[in-house]
């Protein structure tokens, strides 16, 4: 796959034109506002206009790498349903289901091993992109369980609940704060997006707010000038929504994403295009723009809201504890094709090896206070 050189793609995307006009009229925008539009703008957003996953897309996610990921998570969901008392009605909510591959694999596993769970479950897919909803609908056609789409978790009826979110939190809009050299109490400025250049050369560019701020909540002490600290209010709101559900009915959530277990400094805003890193402000709407997930912030929010937290642990460790190796060997033993056997084993490696997704990706569980230790943790 060849990398696209932004210098050789001078034309501005329609979303870039829109953002330039918006900034002219109203002034610089926050990094998170840029992310929201770049990903979810109804006409021009990346998720609204393309199906980004898989070999043909711009990046690959765990369920797209191997069916084993969804099968292990399916077993985790069934175990969790039993742990909350095997209720006769249970919501299975997936946040940001992409092409619907993970849900399909989880439900296939459930159909094999837990028909009672299938009778109890109502699936809810939380998805903003109409285009991806369409992909998910195609994949869910013929499903034996009721499936409903929602734009926000808030709209889903209350019931005992299992939630799964893979590579969802990294898409949520962040704010970035930059430590200045000032010794005053308000020594942080927000990183904003304004414009630079004139005529055809006009482009989006980073700048700092005039307004100054005190240290953002959760920032470790000892920041040096130029250090960047990121916050994600939307992620915290979603965690609070989960925990309030888990207070009213027993429930458990599994959050898997790339990110850090301890809050720290650093600019993690990144873009991917065609399986390569890409300058985040270039060609908005045509590249995936994400940021690392601060698992410490999610854990703190969940605990403060009264939920119990396990992890974060490394994805490699989590999948190993769910039996990835045994599953891979069993699948490999049952195939007669050497090619398939290689794919199964290389899929397991990609999911769990420290040089691949095993260490950068983490798993976090948020659940109702008083439930036992979840499988895999």
Q: Which residues contact ligand SAH (rule: CB under 6 A)?
A: 39-40, 47, 53, 61, 63-64, 96-98, 102, 126-129, 132, 166-168, 171
Q: Taking the complex as a whole, how short is the minimal distance between the CB of residue 80 and ligand SAH, in angstroms? A: 18
Q: Taking the complex as a whole, how short is the minimal distance between the CB of residue 223 and ligand SAH, in angstroms? A: 29
Q: Taking the complex as a whole, how short is the minimal distance between the CB of residue 336 and ligand SAH, in angstroms? A: 29
Q: Which is nearer to ligand SAH, 33 or 207 (CB)?
A: 33
Task: Yes or no: say if 174 and 161 are a contact pair by the CB < 8 Å rule.
Answer: no
Cα angle 162-163-165, degrees, rounded to a multiple of 5: 155
Q: Which is nearer to ligand SAH, 63 or 160 (CB)?
A: 63
- Residue 54 — left, alpha, or beta (φ > 0 → left; ψ -120 to 50 → alpha)? left
How are strands ordered across the β-sheet holding 276-278?
276-278, 270-273, 288-290
Q: Taking the complex as a whole, how short is the minimal distance between the CB of residue 167 and ligand SAH, in angstroms? A: 4
Q: Taking the complex as a whole, how short is the minimal distance between the CB of residue 282 and ligand SAH, in angstroms? A: 20
**Whole-angstrom distance, CA of residue 326 vs CA of residue 332:** 10
Q: Taking the complex as a whole, how short is the minimal distance between the CB of residue 300 and ligand SAH, in angstroms? A: 21
Q: Which is nearer to ligand SAH, 81 or 168 (CB)?
A: 168
Q: Which is nearer to ligand SAH, 290 or 367 (CB)?
A: 290
Cα angle 47-50-54, degrees, rounded to a multiple of 5: 100
Q: Which is nearer to ligand SAH, 80 or 180 (CB)?
A: 80
**Whole-angstrom distance, CA of residue 321 vs CA of residue 308:** 20
What is the H or E stretch that residue 228 is in? strand 228-231
Q: Which is nearer to ligand SAH, 19 or 219 (CB)?
A: 19
**Whole-angstrom distance, CA of residue 179 vs CA of residue 160:** 43
- C-beta nearest to ligand SAH: residue: 96
Of 201, 195, 197, nearest in space to 7 by CA: 201
């Amino acid at each position: 796959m060849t990398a696209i050189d932004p210098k050789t793609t001078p034309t501005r995307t329609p979303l870039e034109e829109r953002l330039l006009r918006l900034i002219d009229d109203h002034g610089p925008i926050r990094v998170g506002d840029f992310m929201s539009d770049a990903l979810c703008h109804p006409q021009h957003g990346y998720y609204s206009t393309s199906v980004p996953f898989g070999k043909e897309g711009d990046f690959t996610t765990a369920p797209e790498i191997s069916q084993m990921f969804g099968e292990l998570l399916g077993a985790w969901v069934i175990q969790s349903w039993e742990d909350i008392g095997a209720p006769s009605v249970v919501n299975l909510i997936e946040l940001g289901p992409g092409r619907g591959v993970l849900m399909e694999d989880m439900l296939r596993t459930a159909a094999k091993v837990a028909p009672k769970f299938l009778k109890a479950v109502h699936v809810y897919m939380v998805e903003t992109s109409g285009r991806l909803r369409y992909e998910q609908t195609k994949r869910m056609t013929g499903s034996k369980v009721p499936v409903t789409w929602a734009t926000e978790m808030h709209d889903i009826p209350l019931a005992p609940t299992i939630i799964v979110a893979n590579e969802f939190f990294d898409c949520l809009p962040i704010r970035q704060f930059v430590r200045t050299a000032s010794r005053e109490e308000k020594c942080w400025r927000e990183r904003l997006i304004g414009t630079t250049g004139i005529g055809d050369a006009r482009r989006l560019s980073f700048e700092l707010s005039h307004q100054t701020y005190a240290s953002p909540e959760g920032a470790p002490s000892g920041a040096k000038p130029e250090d960047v600290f990121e916050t994600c209010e939307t992620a915290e709101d979603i965690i609070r929504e989960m925990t309030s559900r888990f207070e009213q009915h027993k429930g458990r959530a599994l959050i898997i994403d790339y990110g850090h277990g301890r809050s720290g400094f650093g600019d993690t805003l990144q873009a991917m295009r065609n399986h390569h890193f890409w300058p985040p402000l270039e060609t908005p709407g045509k590249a995936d723009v994400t940021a690392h997930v601060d698992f410490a912030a999610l854990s703190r929010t969940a605990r403060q809201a009264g939920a119990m937290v396990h992890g974060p642990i490394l994805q490699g460790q989590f999948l190993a504890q769910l039996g990835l190796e045994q599953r891979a060997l069993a699948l490999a033993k049952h195939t007669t094709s050497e090619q398939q056997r290689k794919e199964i084993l290389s899929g397991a490696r990609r999911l769990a090896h420290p040089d691949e997704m095993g260490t950068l990706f983490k798993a976090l569980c948020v659940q109702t206070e008083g439930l036992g230790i979840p499988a895999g943790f």
